[in-house]
Structure 1
């Protein structure tokens, strides 16, 4: 199987590190041109340098409608849109005020809404496009210490399913990818390995203690999640739309 993306242009939001950066690298490997985004110009420049030929970057604060509009204009033709920009953090429901909710909603939901609204019509005119929303197993398995985060990720499931139906028959597919615990920068920064313990083993201990329903009994790698994104972005996924594709290691206990 060949995920050939030669001649395609991809925009991956929140791609200076973590899953977004892994997705950008995977799409580049498949032959796509990739536009990297992040809030800080220095971070964008560093990510582009690490990715190498075929990568360009645009700095934008996607909580701001005007930055979303500017990004869509400067990006030009986009065949693959990966809505990955987001943030997470533990906070008790009763300590989460309106400003906190607004911050999560604008980053985790409205960035994807605005960019999809701006970029999908041109995909439909060309008769081909891929739109991918990075949700989470937390969309289904709502964490009690991150209810605000879980709600935003559930919203992405509704958004992706509704958009898939809206774009029916146009050649544009819309899907959600649901990672579980993943060895991204965010996860590794919160781990405290014991002396002599690898970060992978520390992550596995975290998964066993906090996500005991995991089938693989470890955290996924960024590359494993990126592999799913690359497939969904490829022409080979043409019969997959409106789907919620789990890369959660079996954490969500459902068939």
Structure 2
């Protein structure tokens, strides 16, 4: 199926590993050109080179921290050098672990900048380019925790909920410019971070990290397993495509049945 993505220019944050890398590869398989963004330059460059060689598309690696004004400016400059962008995937983010009573202001601010202000600043910079190119797509990677919070990460829950609302309000503002904005809320996705955490938590009790992760899946997901980054990436690619042109301002849960409410 031709998804109409050939030669589209996509900016993807958090693109060097996990979900971001899988989305980048999914778009590259459809012929999209990629501006990949992450903080760690060597790993990012290696990923950009790998995808370019595998799929024969143009890639650019932009080492930047999108939680900062300067980092976002570097991303905007890279898009300008390519003549703009057609797709923005706001994927950069990370989990947290704290209590509300003990977390300092600085930690709240850091997550707000990463999960919310990065999306705000990138929209301000890239939406005008999309307008001049006749339209575009913006996708926000939030979390099931935006609607169904986990007790141990209140800052993550709150900032991802804010990102989901930002996605909704941005969608209303820019649909007149033929720019579609949607939000994806994943459940349990088997990223390297999950594996790293599981290995740490089981290091002193036998090291059965796979068993630990299966227990998490059994507890939370009716499908009884984690999703793969590639499974989630397929949904991102579809929402970027011209097969999803009536999808505007929505939040989609890709969670193996984890969400318990309507």
Runs of 4+ in 1 over 6 A off after TM superposition: 193-198
Residue 207 of structure 1: aligned partner: 217
Distance in 1 of aligned mates of 2:234 and 2:193: 19
Q: Alignment partner for residue 95 of structure 1, among 93, 102, 125?
A: 102
What is the alpha-carbon root mean square deviation over aligned residues? 1.8
Give the conservation status (yes or no) of the 8 Å contact 2:86–2:133: no
Give the conservation status (yes or no) of the 8 Å contact 1:4–1:31: no
In 2 relative to 1, CA 151–74 (structure 1 residues): closer, same or farther, beyond 3 Å? same
Give the conservation status (yes or no) of the 8 Å contact 1:16–1:36: yes
Secondary structure at the counterpart of residue 167 of structure 1 = helix
How far did residue 198 of structure 1 move?
A: 8.0
Which runs of structure 2 are paired with 1:9-28 in the superposition (5 Å)?
Answer: 9-28=9-28
How far did residue 197 of structure 1 move?
A: 6.4
Distance in 2 of aligned mates of 1:191 and 1:38: 24
Residue 75 of structure 2: aligned partner: 71
Secondary structure at the counterpart of residue 191 of structure 1 = helix
Structure 1, residues 69-93: CA drift from partner, whole Å, max 9, x if none? Answer: 1211122211000000112122222
- In the comparison of the two structures, how many residue pairs are matched? 251
Secondary structure at the counterpart of residue 60 of structure 2 = strand
Residue 218 of structure 1: aligned partner: 225
Residue 122 of structure 1: aligned partner: 129
Distance in 2 of aligned mates of 1:25 and 1:34: 9
Residue 46 of structure 1: aligned partner: 46
In 2 relative to 1, CA 34–139 (structure 1 residues): closer, same or farther, beyond 3 Å? same
Distance in 1 of aligned mates of 2:26 and 2:88: 14
Structure 1, residues 122-175: CA drift from partner, whole Å, max 9, x if none? Answer: 212322200000000000011111010011110111111001100123211000
Greater shift, 71-80 or 227-236, is seen at 71-80
**Unmatched 5+ stretches in structure 2:** none
Greater shift, 239-248 or 48-57, is seen at 48-57
How far did residue 196 of structure 1 move?
A: 9.8
Give the conservation status (yes or no) of the 8 Å contact 1:164–1:242: yes
Give the conservation status (yes or no) of the 8 Å contact 1:130–1:172: yes
How far did residue 3 of structure 1 move?
A: 2.2
**Unmatched 5+ stretches in structure 1:** none
How far did residue 243 of structure 1 move?
A: 0.5
Distance in 2 of aligned mates of 1:80 and 1:236: 15
How far did residue 202 of structure 1 move?
A: 4.3
With the length of structure 2 as denominator, give the TM-score of the two structures.
0.90
Which runs of structure 2 are paired with 1:84-233 in the superposition (5 Å)?
Answer: 84-192=91-199, 199=210, 202-209=212-219, 211=220, 214-233=221-240
Distance in 1 of aligned mates of 2:177 and 2:143: 27
How far did residue 24 of structure 1 move?
A: 0.5
